[in-house]
Chains A and B, each alone.
Chain A
Amino acid sequence: MRYVHLYFTCIKRSMISRLEYKKDTMIALFSFFFSNLCSLAALYFILQSIPALAGYSLPEVGFFYGFSMLPIALDHLFSDEFWLVAYRRVKDGDMDMHFLRPVPVIFQVFAETFQPEGFGELILGVALIAVCASSLTVKVTLGAIAVLCIGAVFGAVIITSLKVSMAALAFIFKRSGPLLQIIYNFSNYAKYPLAIYPAFIRAMLIFLLPFGLFISLPVDTLLYGTHDPWLLCLAIIICAAVFFALAVRIWTLCERRYESTGS
């Protein structure tokens, strides 16, 4: 309870400091829309030159893409500060203040930033899903809805856990931003149906960096009923729990290695 209160206090402070940079926030919001539009345009240009991608029609691929934005957006709202930790803050010795406070460092990093840009992505994702779904004819079941919701929410937990683990490595290597970037970039590949990848990539995207588990499999379940939705829900939740526990463990182990810079 104390932490909930503390979280909101910190977030309020972070929002106030964000408003200091109103123009930058507006630009960030715009560039977010723009970046997603560019990726969508790229996909659209590619799909225009072929009849269907591995059997998936344009609206189906669009639905995939829209759904993939939801867990990414949710993660983006809450854990953006870890990018800074990975790229700069450890390297610059800028984490000292967190170690002086009687609250876990990892909590403080979460509470450092709330990124409203995530809402833009969320809205865009839902809009894309709505547009594409209107030209699809699928039988919507309760299970399919459930697995999509679980996939979005617990998928975000998994992404955040990956982010935390990678950012934690900065305590050892000083700068783990590039590593985080590339792990995170794998989320791009879950924007397309898993069917386009050979078996070992599919396996990797389900078991190792499980973007496919919470993006592709739920969408396949909705479109083609390929999996038992309730079993898939369970798998996603267990996976999220394991990833989160691991991430916290890695963070705690790594933060002991933090050394401040002299200046």
Chain B
Amino acid sequence: MLKKYKPFLRAGAIDTMAYRFNILIWAVITVCQVACLVFLWLAVYRSSAGGMDAEIHGFTYREMIAYVVLTTIFNFVTFNNDTLWNINTDIKKGTIGNYLIKPISYRGKFAATSFGSLLTMTLMFGVPLYTAALVTLGCLGFLPDLTFPAFFAHLALFLLAGLCASLLNDTIAYIFGVLCFYTSSGWGLNSLKETLVAFLSGTLLPLAFFPAGLREAVSWMPFAGMSQNPVLILMMKYDLAQSLRCLALSAAWIVLLELFAKLLFTRAVRKVTVQGG
């Protein structure tokens, strides 16, 4: 049943490989960017009432730096899909027709491609980057002391959380992509999606900094599971029970969003306007 999606999985992996030089540049310059963010947070802690040793919203400056570094790597490895743009192109160029007549699910095709990309990114960049970051941060004392069985449990949960995050991201990109059926163009929808995800997933700053009401509301949304929660699981800021709760929430959201996406697609596909071929 799943076999027919294998070419797409391969294509996603190969596509990511083909642009590895691009990805390398990206990685190098990201380091500069992270450095700048680290300096911003250092200035924040230096300027805080309690000085450098202060704990702001449950984060020491060491934890905050570890958080910034790990979120950056996480987003780089996990969010590498062009689902929205590809749907947009399929609509604009009319190639969507090719998929509608083939015996594969349009959604399945994207899920497989993104999964292929996730695999390549994780093996090619994730493993070395996470290892380097964890060892460096650990040696600098920016992470809590590791006890090994516990760490491996967290690592396993983190990998699962990463898979969930990638799926969530792909589903949300797909939903926004399908909305292009109505707007006929993806530019605005894409920037809306990116902003929404960056802000609510804790990439801009940990959700702990949000005012109480907003924080509570956002913690029930799927976004925290896309960036903040996986990273906090890896940093062992969440205990096992909390981590499992996050995973359950993400899993529930994946099911809900997939159902919604399916519904949306069946409705939207009736609206399909092919603008030339």
In the complex, the answer to whether A186 meets B187 with C-beta atoms within 8 Å is: no
The answer to whether A52 has its CB under 8 Å from any CB of chain B is: yes
Main secondary structure of the interface of A (DSSP, over half): helix
* B23–A50 touching, CB < 8 Å: no
- Cross-chain contact of A23 among B36, B48, B182 (Cβ < 8 A): B182
- What's the nearest-Cβ distance from chain A to residue B90, in Å? 13
A131 at the interface (CB under 8 A from B): no
Given the interface pairs A39-B204, A182-B30, the reply to whether A28 lies near B47 with Cβ below 8 Å is no
Contacts of B186 in A (CB 8 A): 24
In the complex, which residues of chain A have a beta carbon less than 8 angstroms from the beta carbon of B57? 49
A53 is an interface residue with CB less than 8 A from chain B = yes
Give the residue of A32, A39, A49 whose beta carbon is less than 8 angstroms from that of B56: A49
Q: A24-B183, A24-B184, A30-B192 are in contact. Are A178 and B39 (CB under 8 A)?
A: no
Chain B residues near A182 (CB-CB < 8 A): 26, 29-30, 32-33
Q: Mark B181-209, 1 if CB is under 8 A from A, else 0.
A: 01111111101101110110000110001
Q: In the complex the two chains form, what is the Cα distance from A195 to B39 in whole Å?
A: 10
Q: Is A54's CB under 8 angstroms from B184's CB?
A: no
Interface size on B, residues (CB 8 A): 44
A28-B191 in contact (CB<8A): yes
Taking a contact as CB atoms under 8 Å apart, the answer to whether B205 and A21 are in contact is no
B269 within 8 Å of A (CB atoms)? no
Q: Which residues of A contact B19 (CB under 8 A)?
A: 174-175
B25: interface (CB < 8 Å): yes
Selected from A55, A175, A185, the residue in CB contact (under 8 A) with B33 is A185
Within 8 A of A (CB), among B159-182: 182
In chain B, positions 1-46 with a C-beta closer than 8 Å to chain A are 19, 21-23, 25-26, 29-30, 32-33, 35-36, 39-40, 42-44, 46
Q: Report the stretch among A3-11, A196-204, A237-245 that lies at the interface.
A: A196-204
A34 CB within 8 Å of chain B:
yes
What residues on A are CB-neighbors of B192 within 8 Å?
27-28, 30-31, 34
A253 at the interface (CB under 8 A from B): no
A67 within 8 A of partner (CB): no
Known: A51-B47, A53-B44, A201-B39. Is A21-B33 also a contact (CB below 8 A)?
A: no
Q: Does A12 contact B (CB under 8 A)?
A: no
CA–CA, A46 to B206, complex, Å? 10
User: Across the interface, which residues of A come within 8 angstroms of B26, CB to CB?
Assistant: 178-179, 182
A25 within 8 Å of B (CB atoms): yes
Residues of the B chain whose Cβ atoms lie less than 8 Å from the Cβ of A55:
47
CA distance A180 to B46 in the complex (A): 32
Q: Is A130 an interface residue (CB 8 A)?
A: no
Q: Which of B25, B29, B36, B205 is packed against the most chain A CB atoms within 10 Å? A: B36
Q: Which residues of A contact B42 (CB under 8 A)?
A: 196
Per-position binary interface string of chain A over residues 30-70, scored 1 when its CB falls under 8 Å from any chain B CB and 0 otherwise = 11101100110110011001111111000000000000000
A54 touches B46 (CB 8 A): yes
Return chain B residues, CB-CB under 8 Å to A26.
Answer: 188
Q: When chains A and B are docked, how far (Å) is the Cα of A88 from the Cα of B92?
A: 14
Closest to A80 in B: B187
The residues of A that contact B152 with a CB separation of less than 8 Å are none
> Does residue B217 face the partner (Cβ distance < 8 Å to A)?
no
CB pair B210 A45 closer than 8 Å: yes
Q: Does A192 reach chain B (CB closer than 8 Å)?
A: yes
- Chain A residues with CB under 8 Å of B39's CB are 196-198, 201
| A88 pairs with B85, CB closer than 8 A | yes
User: Using Cβ atoms and an 8 Å threshold, which residues of chain A touch B194?
Assistant: 35
Identify B191's interface contact among A35, A178, A183, A201, CB under 8 A: A35
Q: Does B211 contact A (CB under 8 A)?
A: yes
13 A-B pairs (CB sep. < 8 Å): A20-B184, A21-B183, A23-B188, A34-B195, A42-B205, A45-B210, A50-B49, A53-B44, A53-B47, A88-B85, A173-B22, A176-B22, A192-B43
Query: Which residues of B are at the interface with A, using a C-beta cutoff of 8 A?
Result: 19, 21-23, 25-26, 29-30, 32-33, 35-36, 39-40, 42-44, 46-49, 56-57, 85, 182-189, 191-192, 194-196, 198-199, 204-205, 209-211
Given contacts A55-B47, A182-B30, A189-B36, 20 further A-B contacts (CB under 8 A): A21-B185, A24-B184, A24-B188, A31-B189, A41-B199, A42-B199, A45-B209, A46-B44, A49-B57, A50-B48, A51-B47, A51-B48, A52-B47, A175-B19, A176-B22, A178-B23, A178-B25, A182-B33, A186-B32, A189-B40
Q: Nearest 9 CB-CB pairs, A to B?
A: A28-B188, A27-B188, A196-B43, A31-B192, A24-B185, A21-B185, A38-B199, A35-B195, A178-B26
